[in-house]
Amino acid sequence: MANAATHRTVEAVWRIESARLIAGLARTVGDVGLAEDIAQDALVAALEQWPASGVPDNPGAWLTAVARRRYVDGVRRRVSFERRAGDLARELAETEDPMAEIEFDAHVEDDVLRLIFTACHPVLTRDARVALTLKLVGGLSTEQIARAFLVPTPTMAARITRAKKALADAKVPFEVPVGAELTARLASVLEVVYLIFNEGYAATSGESWTRADLCEEAMRLGRMLAALAPDEPEAHGLVALMEIQASRIPARAGRDGQLVTLLDQDRSRWNRLLITHGLTELHKAESLSGSQLSGPYVIQAALAACHARALIAADTDWTRIVALYDVLRALTPSPVVELNRAVAVSMADGPAAGLAIVDTLAADPAMRGYHLLSSVRGDLLERLGRTDEARAEFERAAAMTANASERAHLVSRAARLT
């Protein structure tokens, strides 16, 4: 087999096996950083040996065996070094077969879940959590992660090293939290996955592995999480939210490369497979939630689903959208949610009702200088036939935005009203 082809195969095997390998090792050695180092050794061995020997029939078992050998060798060296100081008999008993408890079927799924929670531990910065999750759970190389986040590889490598050290220093246990802690920790995991998704959603160009692939990676991580923690409605909600949003990617660019807003998109270009899958996930989330939608991701997914279910924009169930924004507002109050609620209200009950909300919002100091508020207000005024005020509002919005394309859009809307 040609060397390049073998490399691609090794990479593919690594994508499939690495999370389970690292997770299994981490449970034994109690340190994800060390586990990853050992697993990386096995990967290097594969890259060295497979081009000559061919890819083994069971590459996962091969990697596990090599990792296990490396670890045992390491422990033996350490044992002989500490012979005089330590309790030799106990240590030997423990190291007889230190990897015996790695069963790559029985506990491996729990281990992968532990790995996800550890990589997303709040002791780490947000950037570190994202990097470590992609590296340990996603099986991406440091180069791939660096490229996706537009930083030099050494910078990303240092970030990952620091993160692993921070986990070791804080003695973060390799476990899935329980009780009240679980809720907070799960929120951290979900946040990391959604950050990865949004990073990808804003991406433009695509070579072999770039930012755009982050959307797919985030969806994959989300689905893993939902499958490993099937009783958590927010995990299913996040998957649904990402999939329904991603379904619109093919429709968001117009012929001239301009942005097409949701209501103007050609819905026949939406990815139906992702919508179907997303709606199924939402259904699971809603069944688990009971009568009350349980969290921000489920609610946002339900919002996205209102659009996905409407075959044409005019069929959109705005009353339901308003009701969902009411729930979201109660759960995570923010002026931005309120502004979106105003838009929904204007679609359900007419522009005057929407304008009343926007005018209340305009008094909020947090919204001062926020061009979207002026843009929405201009739109509502235009629909009410208050042309002069609308034009002034669009001009104000154009002056406030730093984004050239948005400014051009707003200037043209103002110009149409003269």
Partner 1 sequence: MRVMVLVKATEDSERGDYADHADEFAAMGKFNEELVKAGIMLAGEGLAPTSDGKRVVYDAEGASRVIDGPFAEAKELVGGFWIWQVSSMEEAVEWVKRAPFKNQSVELRRVHEAEDFAGRLPQDILDAEARLRAQSGQ
The C-alpha atoms of residue 157 and residue 137 are separated, in whole angstroms, by 16
Q: What's the closest the beta carbon of residue 378 comes to partner 1, in angstroms?
A: 16
| DSSP letter assigned to residue 209 | S
Q: Determine, following the binding rule CB under 8 A, whether residue 109 of this chain makes contact with partner 1.
A: yes
Using CB under 8 A, pick the residue from 95, 209, 323, 349 that binds partner 1.
209
Q: Specify the 3-state DSSP secondary structure of 259.
A: strand
* CB of 44 or CB of 202, closer to partner 1: 202
Binding-site member from 204, 291, 292, 418 for partner 1 (CB under 8 A): 204
Q: Bridge partners of 259?
A: 253
Q: Which is nearer to partner 1, 33 or 138 (CB)?
A: 138
Q: Using the rule CB under 8 A, is 369 a contact of partner 1?
A: no
Place of tokens 């690594």: 14
Distance CA 81, CA 73 (A): 12
Decide whether 222 or 351 has the Cβ nearer to partner 1. Answer: 222
Nearest CB to partner 1, comparing residues 50 and 71 = 50
Phi, psi of 356 (to 5 degrees): -60, -40
Contact call for residue 361 and partner 1 (CB under 8 A): no
Query: Measured between alpha carbons, how far is 409 from 261 in angstroms, rounded to an integer?
Result: 12
Angle, alpha carbons 153-157-159 (nearest 5°)? 115
Helices 108-119 and 32-53: crossing angle, nearest 10°? 120
Question: How many residues sit in the footprint of partner 1 (CB under 8 A)?
Answer: 62
Smallest distance, Å, CB 254 to partner 1? 9
Return the residue of 1, 3, 12, 388 that touches partner 1, per CB under 8 A.
12
Tokens representing 409 are: 């859009």
Decide: is 150 part of the binding site for partner 1 (CB under 8 A).
Answer: no
Gap between the Cα atoms of 333 and 296, Å rounded = 11
Binding site for partner 1 (CB under 8 A): 8-9, 11-13, 15-16, 59, 109, 112, 198, 201-206, 209-210, 212-213, 216-217, 219-224, 227-228, 241, 245, 249-250, 252-253, 257-259, 262, 269, 271, 273-274, 276-277, 299-301, 303-304, 307, 328, 336-337, 340, 372, 403-406
